[in-house]
Amino acid sequence: MRFRFAVFIIAFGINVKLLSAQNFSTISVNFKPMFGHSVLQLNDSIYLLNSRDSIQFTTLKFYISGIAFWNNSTTVWIESNSFHLLDATDSNTLKLAFKVPADMIYSEIKFKLGIDSLTNVSGAMGGDLDPTKGMYWTWQGGYVNFKLEGKSNLCQSRKHEFQFHLGGYAHPYNILQSISLLTSNRQNVNIELDLKTFISNVDLANKPSVMSPNKEALILSNQLGKLFIVK
């Protein structure tokens, strides 16, 4: 019995040493909201849509969740409790860092734009999911996946303002977007989101506002999911 116990202690000690000796590295994933070829600036910058019309952005917030790294169709690492609220007013929120095994090889990064239905029906939570972040409607509506606000002379609304609060988790307006991006095995991944392309497909004159789960929210969310690219 003493011999078996001694062997167990030695084996346990070896395993602890192996675990502690495992090397890790950090992968940084940086999200860059863009307007064409320019990094998006809120409030102070005015952008031209064409020779006559202009636009200004005041708010940009969106959720990134379920982040995972893949290699040759196989998951090699996935983040637990993966919910991140990105806010263009705080550049630190646009930079995500993940501690992964140093020998990990990956060729693809996958994530969701928005919050999954299970989390939505669980009610308001803490951290980046805290309702005080201004991204939660009600238990019926759930979370706002993507929020974009600003002004344009095209808008016929009060003060020429537009508001796009895109959310919804129940059929037929489950607007959660799954995004897969090929990338080389690198420690720094830069992902751009071109809002010029997005806003160019919006009818600001007639539909300057989407504020609930509906067909327009689904269409716009589908468009957004195609505008993330690795640079």
pLDDT of residue 8: 45
* pLDDT of res. 123: 79
Given a cut of 60, is residue 7 above it in pLDDT? no
Amino acid letter for position 23? N
Q: Considering only 16-20, 36-40, 110-114, 186-190, which range has the smallest mean pLDDT?
A: 16-20
So what's the pLDDT on residue 140?
Answer: 82
Question: Distance of CA 72 to CAs 105, 132, 179, 185, Å?
Answer: 10, 40, 16, 12
Q: What residues form DSSP beta bridges with 230?
A: 191
Do 189 and 228 form a contact (C-beta atoms < 8 A)? no
The pLDDT of residue 128: 97
For 169-183, how does the pLDDT look when each residue is reduced to its tens digit (9 = 90+)?
999 999 999 999 999
Most confident of the ranges 11-20, 57-66, 123-132: 57-66
Q: DSSP character for 8? A: H
The tens digit of pLDDT for each residue in 29-78 reads 999 999 999 999 999 899 999 889 999 999 999 999 999 999 999 999 99
On the question of pLDDT at 20 being above 60, the answer is no
Q: Which amino acid is at 199?
A: I
Q: Which residues neighbour 72 within 8 Å (Cβ) at sequence distance 6 or greater?
A: 107
Weakest mean pLDDT among 12-16, 46-50, 117-121, 191-195:
12-16
Q: Provide, rounded to the nearest whole percent, the portion of the chain with pLDDT above 90.
A: 84
pLDDT at position 19 = 47
Question: Is-contact 113 145, C-beta < 8 A?
Answer: yes
| Per-residue pLDDT at 13 exceeds 60 | no
